[in-house]
Chain A
Amino acid sequence: MAARKTSKKPNVSADELKQFYRDMLLIRRFEEKAGQLYGMGLIGGFCHLYIGQEAVVVGLEAATKEGDKRVTTYRDHGHMLACGMDPNGVMAELTGREGGYSRGKGGSMHMFSTDKHFYGGHGIVGANVPLGAGLAFSDKYKGNDNVTFTYFGDGAANQGQVYETFNMAALWELPVIFVIENNQYAMGTSQKRSTSTPDIYTRGAAFGIPGEAVDGMDVLAVKEAGEKAVAHCRAGKGPYILEVKTYRYRGHSMSDPAKYRTREEVQKMREEKDAIEHVRELLMSGKHASEEDLKAIDKEIKSVVNKSADFAKDSPEPAVEELWTDIITDIAPQNA
């Protein structure tokens, strides 16, 4: 990787740095495997890979505490892995099998874990933004200091309901962090061609919501910004916006013609800005890890991912009776 300007010494322990490396690598290898299984016909439908954006969720998860909630869009595999959901359950949901988080009934875009306070996985662009504010509303109503991370993209940032939500979140001082994962392309439309302002976070100013831009390819910068936003929300000061500038290496979904940007642009990002390489470099240059240490982590991650793929292939399809279950329930849901 080319030299990156890191102005200050990372405020992070060697162990934490290694953990970031491991967590980001897990997402990348998992997604590569998912792409492979898609190509083999084992995963169907829509499948949106998170490759390139790993530092966003890993950095922000480092700023959370137990009880905090998260909700996101359809590009959700990374968020699930980062908040500690089981790779086997995620991969088996991608293959539509009984062992998946939704027993095969949700798919890539619709998984949930009340244990890990992960509230989906939503396929309608922008719709998860009021849902996240509603989760934050429930915490404020109950009087605890939990925070909800509501992730959405630069594309979703143009939906009307986002601004309806900004207004109410500010009005009611909801403890919600709006994380705009700006990967620069709304499907195939670049930010320049879709969005009137270059810095989306400034749009919160109209509602009195503070916001800032963050280098989404630097996991340490993301964590630091996350901690600041979390402190703001926990102190009862209302919502906060983080516009995390990131980049997706793969297509919007698996069926992406890749005609809207150049190969050189993608290659340049990979070579100069890659978030995993960045941490790798920090580990090596700080002598926190040897080549062998990192190889051992690579091997361990590869094994976790391969196991998840095996699990996802071996898990049976859901029983046909599942067609008719979970439509309505008689039992009060164990939400929150």
Chain B
Amino acid sequence: MKICVCVKQVPDSWAEKKLTAGDSTLDRAAADRVVNELDEYAVEEALRIIEAGEGEVTILSMGPDEAADSVRKAISMGAHAGIHVSDPALYGSDALATSLVLAKAIEGRGFDLIIFGSESTDARMSVVPAMVAARLGLPQMTFANKVEVSGSNLTIHRVTDYGYDEVQSTLPAVVSVVEKTNEPRYPSFKNIMAAKKAPMETLSLSDLGLDAATVGLANAWSEVKDFAERPAKAKGTVITDEGNGAEKIEEFLVTQKFI
């Protein structure tokens, strides 16, 4: 079983995030960079699948030079190898370009499963796994909170408003997992040391046979016209409860016509 897990380096989800004034891209320097939290569930799921049988897990990430740290970090959970796609021309790429690059990096390597976290905590679009499935022409088995592999068959529980759909496909397939699918492990000392020596490929756009005119900020399919910080909310009324707290809330809800 060969599994590819796609991870994204993002600003820490507990930090305030900002856009850059010049070109409206994410200000990556404004916050600590971490592996997207939801991708840790994807790595954990991949490790559980190979531990139940056999196989190898490869971590794939597209991002600036620093994203290599996130690939190593993900490998240190117990994965075997890394692929880092990095090219100055990728700066400012949108989801369409990102999915194109990831699909190119994945195809032809014989992966049985490609696993994503269901969204990144910065862009929060939740579209890249579906887009990569579309580009590769593979079954889209996304928003899973349960993943079962049996031979060449795959069954997931796809989370829905009402509960879940049980969905089946064959391998190879593209999977995304939601938060709390499992309990991601902490890297062991042994695996942290192993990750330092794990094979890592660094690929440029030309290595992938892609033209710089198909990616990057200038070639994005959408553009930011302008942005602004949300104005601070006008200070509301805050009172201290002296046995009348509920009564005061009741009055407020009545004046606002909620009750």
Q: Do A and B actually bind?
A: no
